[in-house]
């Protein structure tokens, strides 16, 4: 087929919404390359999902359908997608950079002697038809960006970071739906996946908190947490944290904000000693206002902060607590 | 049970970010290095599995220049039994497939029951090397793993999904798991451990020569351009606090 192929992600008939961001990226890439974009859904009886895609501006919608694909396994997806990509021979294969994609896409690329360009934040295009696109990804947890180029023959596999393309930019149109039935045998699937579950102890709901004070590794040690607790108390805010704080057991995991924790959108989010790695940002960038306190002026958190202080949290936070208490009278 | 843990040495988190002269990486001259954080959790998981099982061996592997030996030595001090240093001065010019290949070559000979890697490196953030390694070795894998349980002749693992969800996955051995941070509490090396580490085996092997040109290339690095206008507060801590309170009152309206 050549052109661009976008892998859409679904579970039990419900989309992972990041798929539509990848779809928008795929449509834009195809337009720049002067080619067409198609989309593929993997699963069992995902007819209504492929029908939904039939109203998008796509060359074709493919439904890869097999009973062994009813729930996700790396082995099942890899075997099915390898056959499909071989048959269709797209120039580019785009994925949303989800946890599932992390699980199989690197190995899919390996089967084509390719390397997935993972977690891409921007696609830049050269002028004219010369020059292949440049894929920008982050290094050092967002402190540095890098240009990557695909330099070999064969499909170019790319996954796009959450929130970097807008799903509302997906263009409408019409497309026909085609089913692809892969050759799959039960023995090929070596792992047995269980049903997704949540830890039952989830008793803190940060998603509706109007004010959040969130603490990161910059706090240094557990004993210093009281500093941010006092600020939270003064503001009447919920206390939240980045992953390392919960990993250390300093705060319970249910207070973790980010891709594997809670997603929050308070009126005010105060980030104290948090660098702003993407996995944290996806959980809080819907906040109405963000105040960041960090000693490193290049910390990525300042990318999305409305208000910022470059300084030592141990000097700033106690003063701020005092000033808030005074203001409240 | 024989467990191989692939650990990577990465710049410390507060490393100064100055772009190197060739524009492809940061200036390494004044960097300090440490173990990649999820890899420390992978090592911890391996040590605990060995301790629970009562016998077995934990072998740590790292590809890189001579300096990575210090990180391997630390892993030995924490309790790993042996280390393999894959000598490789040109990591930067190899892509994921190239790096996974040299790891695969070195690990194949060990024929481990279980391979653990970190889920992602702090410097390159590819999140791929473990999965590609499993594919090259032809063994099953699972990613973003928080807990590992031996189950008869196989494994039951707890895999992290998005938004606070998890999933159990069962698989046969040999297998490869990419380990997420936070599943265990990390141990420190004891004085005794540090002493013992000195006499433990550290084998140096040559990296398998690159067989193919890289499929993708990093052409240049650059500092991110700031897109958002952040209002910065300066002054003494008290002045800064007063300015913030002003904003919280009249702009954010939460006071
Ligand atoms: C699959 C996956 C899922 C993940 N899920 C999550 C998630 O849900 N939530 C999450 O948060 N992370 C998650 N992470 C981890 C994430 O990538 C980062 O490692 C983490 O967010 C970093 O936390 P941090 O900002 O607190 O620490 P660091 O990155 O170490 O940052 C500490 C910051 O504190 C600053 N600082 C230090 N001392 C001071 C001081 N005295 N005063 C002021 N500032 C100071 C430093 O300049 C630095 O910016 C995930 C990673 C992966 C790979
Ligand atoms: N040079 C290396 N030596 C040993 N292990 C490595 C190396 N590079 C990557 N790894 C392993 O692969 C994991 C994922 O790395 P990455 O794909 O770069 O994000 C790391 O956490 C390590 O466990």
Residue B184 sits in a domain whose CATH number is 3.40.50.620
If DSSP states are collapsed to H, E and C, what string results for chain B? CEEEEECCEEECCCCCCCECCCCCCECCCCCCEEECHHHHHHHHHHHHHHHHHCCCEEEEEEEECCCHHHHHHHHHHHCCCEEEEEECCCHHHCCHHHHHHHHHHHHHCCCCCEEEEECCCCCCCCCCHHHHHHHHHCCCEEEEEEEEEEECCEEEEEEECHHHEEEEEEEECCEEEEECCCCCCCCCCCHHHHHHHCCCEEEEEECCCCCCCCCEEEEEEECCCCCCCCEECCCCHHHHHHHHHHHHHHCCCCC
- Taking the C-alpha atoms of residue A194 and residue A196, their distance in angstroms, rounded to an integer, is 6
When the candidates are 3.40.50.620, 3.20.20.70, 3.30.230.10, 3.20.10.10, the CATH number that belongs to A4-188 is 3.40.50.620
Does residue B214 form part of some domain? no
CA distance B202 to chain A (A): 29
- Report chain B residues whose CB lies below 8 A from the CB of A147: 218-222
Find, among A138, A71, A69, A74, the residue nearest to A102 by Cα.
A74
What rounded mean pLDDT belongs to chain A?
95
- The dihedral through the CA atoms of B49, B51, B54, B55 has a sign that is positive
- Is A296 in Cβ contact with B14 (below 8 Å)? yes
- Report chain A residues whose CB lies below 8 A from the CB of B128: 102, 106, 115-116, 118
Size of interface A-B (CB pairs under 8 A): 261
CA of B226 to the centre of ligand 2 (A): 30
- Taking the C-alpha atoms of residue A35 and residue A46, their distance in angstroms, rounded to an integer, is 27
Greatest pairwise CA separation for chain A in angstroms:
72
- Is B167 in Cβ contact with A197 (below 8 Å)? yes
CA of A228 to the centre of ligand 1 (A): 16
- Is B216 in Cβ contact with A148 (below 8 Å)? yes
pLDDT digit string (tens) for A234-266? 999 999 999 999 999 999 999 999 999 999 999
CA distance B199 to chain A (A): 31
What's A254's DSSP letter?
G
B124, B131, B171 ranked by CB distance to A107: nearest: B131
pLDDT digit string (tens) for A192-223? 999 999 986 667 889 999 999 999 999 999 99
**Structure token pair of residue B203:** 């084998």
- Taking the C-alpha atoms of residue A73 and residue A62, their distance in angstroms, rounded to an integer, is 19
Q: Which domain holds residue B174?
A: 2-206
Domain boundaries, chain A: 4-188, 206-328
Whole-model pTM over 0.90 = yes
Does residue B251 form part of some domain? no
pLDDT digit string (tens) for A10-38? 999 999 999 999 999 999 999 999 999 99
- Ligand 1 atom 49: the closest Cα is on which residue? A275
Find, among B103, B123, B127, B126, the residue nearest to B115 by Cα.
B103
CA distance B23 to chain A (A): 10
Does residue B93 form part of some domain? yes
Find, among B249, B225, B127, B123, the residue nearest to B178 by Cα.
B127
CA of A158 to the centre of ligand 2 (A): 19
pLDDT band at A128 (very low <50, low <70, confident <90, very high): low
* Beta strands A144-150 and A156-160, pairing class: unpaired
- Report chain A residues whose CB lies below 8 A from the CB of B91: none
- Report chain B residues whose CB lies below 8 A from the CB of A257: none
- Ligand 1 atom 30: the closest Cα is on which residue? A217
Interface test with A, best of B224, B243, B250 (most A CBs within 10 A): B224
Burial A248-264 (b: 16+ CB within 10 A, else e): bebbebbbbbbbbbbbb
- Ligand 2 atom 21: the closest Cα is on which residue? B118
Mutate to test the pocket of ligand 1, among B14, B131, B145, B161 (most ligand atoms within 8 A of CB): B14
**What is residue B55's predicted lDDT score, i.e. its pLDDT?**
87
CA distance A175 to chain B (A): 31
Does residue B244 form part of some domain? no
The reply to whether domains A4-188 and A206-328 share a CATH topology is yes
Hey, what's the torsion of the CAs at A317, A319, A324, A327, to 10 degrees? -170
Q: Which residue has the higher pLDDT, B60 or A131?
A: B60
**Which residues' Cβ are closer than 6 Å to ligand 1?**
A 141, 216-218, 242-244, 256-261, 273-275, 277, 279-280, 283, 293-296, 299, 312-314; B 13, 119-120, 144
* C-alpha Rg value of chain B to the nearest Å: 21
pLDDT at A130 over 70: no
Nearest ligand to the CA atom of A309: 1
Instruction: Print pLDDT tens along chain B (255 aa).
Output: 999 999 999 999 988 899 999 999 999 998 999 999 999 999 999 999 999 988 899 999 999 999 999 999 999 999 999 999 999 999 999 999 999 999 999 999 999 999 999 999 999 999 999 999 999 999 999 999 999 999 988 999 999 999 889 999 999 999 999 999 999 999 999 999 999 999 999 999 999 888 889 999 999 999 998 878 899 999 999 999 999 999 999 999 999
Q: Chain A, 205-244: which have a CB under 8 Å from a chain B CB?
A: 210-211, 217, 235, 243-244
Residues 6+ apart with CB under 8 A from A261: A243, A246, A253, A254, A255, A283, B163, B164
**Structure token pair of residue B23:** 């524009």
- Report chain B residues whose CB lies below 8 A from the CB of A268: 248, 252, 254
- The dihedral through the CA atoms of A264, A268, A273, A275 has a sign that is positive
**Mean per-residue pLDDT for A75-96?**
98
Find, among B146, B137, B153, B32, the residue nearest to A197 by Cα.
B146
Find, among A205, A247, A201, the residue nearest to A222 by Cα.
A247
pLDDT at A286 over 80: yes
**Mean per-residue pLDDT for A78-83?**
98
- Report chain A residues whose CB lies below 8 A from the CB of B228: 303-306
B140, B161, B223 ranked by CB distance to A190: nearest: B140
- Is B221 in Cβ contact with A319 (below 8 Å)? no
When the candidates are 3.30.465.10, 3.30.43.10, 3.40.50.1220, 3.30.470.20, the CATH number that belongs to A206-328 is 3.40.50.1220
Does residue B163 form part of some domain? yes
**Mean per-residue pLDDT for A28-57?**
95
pLDDT band at A82 (very low <50, low <70, confident <90, very high): very high
Residues 6+ apart with CB under 8 A from A31: none
**What is residue B212's predicted lDDT score, i.e. its pLDDT?**
85
A103: left (phi over 0), alpha (psi -120 to 50) or beta: alpha
């Amino acid at each position: 087929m050549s052109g661009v192929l976008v892998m859409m992600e679904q579970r039990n008939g419900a989309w992972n919404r990041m798929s539509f961001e990848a779809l928008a990226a795929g449509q834009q890439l195809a337009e720049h390359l002067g080619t067409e974009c198609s989309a593929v859904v993997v699963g069992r009886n995902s007819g209504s999902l492929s029908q939904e895609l039939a109203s998008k501006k796509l060359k074709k919608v493919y439904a890869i359908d097999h009973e062994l694909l009813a729930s996700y396994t790396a082995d099942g997806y890899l075997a099915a997608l390898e056959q499909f990509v071989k048959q269709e021979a797209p120039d580019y294969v785009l994925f949303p950079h989800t946890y599932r994609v992390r699980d199989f896409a690197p190995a899919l690329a390996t089967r084509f002697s390719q390397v997935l360009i993972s977690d891409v934040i921007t696609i830049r295009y050269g002028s004219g038809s010369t020059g292949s696109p440049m894929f920008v990804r982050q290094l050092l947890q967002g402190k540095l960006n890098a240009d990557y180029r695909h330099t070999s023959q064969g499909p170019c596999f790319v996954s796009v970071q959450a929130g970097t393309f807008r799903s509302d930019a997906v263009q409408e149109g019409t497309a026909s739906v085609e089913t692809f039935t892969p050759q799959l045998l039960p023995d090929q699937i070596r792992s047995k996946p269980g049903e997704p579950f949540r830890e039952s102890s989830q008793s803190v709901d940060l998603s509706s908190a109007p004010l959040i004070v969130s603490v990161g590794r910059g706090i240094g040690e557990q004993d210093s947490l009281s500093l941010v607790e006092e600020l939270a108390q003064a503001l009447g805010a919920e206390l939240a944290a980045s992953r390392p704080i919960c990993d250390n057991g300093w705060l319970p995991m249910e207070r973790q904000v980010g891709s594997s924790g809670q997603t929050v959108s308070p009126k005010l989010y105060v980030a104290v000693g948090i660098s702003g790695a993407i996995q944290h940002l996806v959980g809080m960038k819907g906040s109405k206002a963000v105040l960041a306190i960090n000693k490193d002026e290049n910390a990525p958190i300042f990318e999305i902060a409305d208000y910022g202080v470059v300084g030592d949290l141990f000097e700033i936070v106690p003063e701020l607590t005092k000033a808030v208490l005074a203001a409240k009278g | 049970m024989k467990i191989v843990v692939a650990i990577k040495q990465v710049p410390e988190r507060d490393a100064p970010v100055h772009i190197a002269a060739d524009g492809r990486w940061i200036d390494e001259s004044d960097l300090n290095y440490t173990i990649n954080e999820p890899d420390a959790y992978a090592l911890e998981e391996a040590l605990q599995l060995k301790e629970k099982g009562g016998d077995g061996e934990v072998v740590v592997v790292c590809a890189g220049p001579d300096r990575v030996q210090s990180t391997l030595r630390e892993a030995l001090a924490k309790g790993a039994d042996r280390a393999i240093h894959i000598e490789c001065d040109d990591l930067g010019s190899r892509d994921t497939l190239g790096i996974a290949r040299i790891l695969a070559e070195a690990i194949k000979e060990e024929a481990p029951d279980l391979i653990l890697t970190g889920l992602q490196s702090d410097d390159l953030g590819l999140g791929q090397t473990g999965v590609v390694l499993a594919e090259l070795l032809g063994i099953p894998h699972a990613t973003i793993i928080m807990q590992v349980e031996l189950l008869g002749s196989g494994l039951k693992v707890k895999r992290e999904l998005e938004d606070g969800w998890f999933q159990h996955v069962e698989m046969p051995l040999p297998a490869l798991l990419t380990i997420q941070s936070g599943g265990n509490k990390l141990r420190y090396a004891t004085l005794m451990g540090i002493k013992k580490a000195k006499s433990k085996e550290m084998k140096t092997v040559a990296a398998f020569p690159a067989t193919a040109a890289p499929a993708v290339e990093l052409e240049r690095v650059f500092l991110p351009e700031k897109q958002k206008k952040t209002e910065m507060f300066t002054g003494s801590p008290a002045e800064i606090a007063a300015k913030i309170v002003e904003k919280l009152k009249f702009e954010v309206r939460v006071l």
